[in-house]
Amino acid sequence: MKRRFIICVDDSSKEQQDALTQFLKDKKVGYWHWFSDVWLMTDPQRKWTASQLRNELESLLPAAHKLILQIDGESTWSGFGKTKMFDWLKQTWSKD
């Protein structure tokens, strides 16, 4: 079963947000980023822990507040917005 994380960042610049997005792309993990300060991440290889992510993100976003939540087991979600913004959640986040 893949690991899932919610990454929340506060007080980050646009450049730092872009760096975090690039970091996730480079690590070849799945991610969803439709809200400016929130990333959902899936790790099918189970390489990451919340602490490891925090440590890596500290160097990318040194002055920003960060919260990384690891979601184990089943989770439910509900949202409102553009239909296409939820495609990734249906296809990747919700499936093992």
CB within 8 Å of 79: residues ≥ 6 apart = 85, 86, 89
65, amino acid identity:
H
Residue recorded with tokens 């990454």: 7
For 51-91, write each residue's pLDDT tens digit. 999 999 999 998 899 999 999 888 888 999 888 999 999 99
Please provide the average confidence, as pLDDT, over all residues in the chain.
92
Residue 42 structural domain: 3-93
Total of domains in the chain: 1
pLDDT tier at 18, thresholds 50, 70, 90: very high
Which CATH number do you get for residue 72?
3.30.70.240
Tell me the pTM: 0.90
